[in-house]
Amino acid sequence: MATTTEAAPAEGTTGESTEAEGGAHHVFPPLDSKTFPSQLFWLVIFFAALYLLMSRMVLPRIAAILEARKNQIDGDLARASALKDETEKTLQSYQKALSDARGNATDIAKTTRDKVDGDVNAKRAALDATLAEKVASAEAAVAKSKAKAMESVHDIASDTAAEIVASLTGGKVTKTALSKALADAKS
């Protein structure tokens, strides 16, 4: 208790206050053990009250605010990333649809071209066949006409020969003799 003895003269020099407060306060107030029970008693009461107020009421309130903010931020970030994913997915499906459509278009163009080509070929073949038929029949007709013409020439020649013989000799020639002579002349 060295402090107490030091404090006493200090109070003495500054003087009148100790007298005004009454002679009981000769000890240095912060070390006056007479006030200890009262201070301890009220400290326990008020600190317990503070602890209860803090732990039951005030701190949960602030924690709830911070928690709500954290949830909000986390939720917003999650939603943003979900939207980003969705955008990417949409973009991918769009590109897939685009390439599908392009493939389909190529397919349709190819099949159409093939079909048209086939049609053209078939028609051309049919046309070729009819044309060849016509040519063949025309050729046959020509050959027939030619043969007929040749026969007419033979007849005309034998007639002409008979006429010539008749006018030259005045005699009649038999048909068989003429044919024989013509055949001889030909060979």
Angle of helix 175-186 relative to helix 59-169, nearest 10 degrees, comes to: 120
Considering only 68, 83, 129, 156, the residue that binds another protein (CB under 8 A) is 68
Q: Judged by CB, which is closer to another protein: 49, or 83?
A: 49
Q: Is 65 in the site for another protein (CB under 8 A)?
A: yes
Q: Judged by CB, which is closer to another protein: 38, or 176?
A: 38
166 Cβ neighbours under 8 A, 6+ residues apart: 172, 173
Residue with tokens 């599908």: 100
Q: Do 46 and 21 touch, CB atoms closer than 8 A? A: no
Contacts of another protein in 15-34 (CB under 8 A): 15-17, 20-21, 25, 28-32, 34
Instruction: Count how many residues are written for the chain.
Output: 187
Q: Judged by CB, which is closer to another protein: 53, or 136?
A: 53
Considering only 1, 42, 86, 145, the residue that binds another protein (CB under 8 A) is 42
Look up residue 133 and give its two tokens. 């038929």
Q: Judged by CB, which is closer to another protein: 45, or 147?
A: 45
Q: Do 165 and 173 touch, CB atoms closer than 8 A? A: yes
Return the SS3 of 15.
coil
Q: How many residues bind another protein (CB under 8 A)?
A: 45
Considering only 4, 5, 72, 112, the residue that binds another protein (CB under 8 A) is 72
Q: How far apart are CA 54 and CA 56, in angstroms?
A: 6
Q: How far apart are CA 155 and CA 41, in angstroms?
A: 167
Q: Is 186 in the site for another protein (CB under 8 A)?
A: no
Residues that bind another protein (CB under 8 A): 7, 10-11, 14-17, 20-21, 25, 28-32, 34-43, 46-47, 49-51, 53-55, 57-59, 61-66, 68-69, 72
